[in-house]
Amino acid sequence: MSEKLLTSAQKSIRTFHGCFHLVPETHKALVLELLRPGSFAKLDDQPNDLPPFQIINCKGGRCWVRQQSWGRHIHWEVAHYRLKSA
């Protein structure tokens, strides 16, 4: 049994020998900025004359945002990758 483990370990060493990248280039994840509730963010294509949005909550790649002039009960759902902190 230990011989089987040794051969599988040797195979994995041969696979990664001389290579420091454990994650292939095609499988890299997009790193998103941490947007805390109450902070302000702008859309990637937001005009300069529009004030930043206030973050209500971010979960599962979606963020709920609002404008301060909209009131507390009106919000908008936006993809997280479209927002940058203001």
Q: Where are the domains of the chain?
A: 23-85
Higher-pLDDT residue of 1 and 43 is 43
Look at residue 65 and tell me whether its pLDDT is greater than 60: yes
pLDDT grade, residue 68 (50/70/90)? confident
Higher pLDDT, 71 or 39: 39
Q: For the residues 49-66, what does the mean pLDDT come to?
A: 92
- Quote the CA–CA distance of 77 and 8 in Å, as a whole number: 48
Average pLDDT value for the chain: 77
Nearest CA-CA partner of 32 in 49, 55, 13: 55
The helix, strand and coil proportions of the chain, stated in percent and rounded to the nearest 5, come to 30, 25, 45
Beta carbons within 10 angstroms of residue 58's beta carbon: 21
CA 37, 39, 43, 47 torsion-angle sign? positive
Of the chain, the percentage scoring pLDDT greater than 90 comes to 42
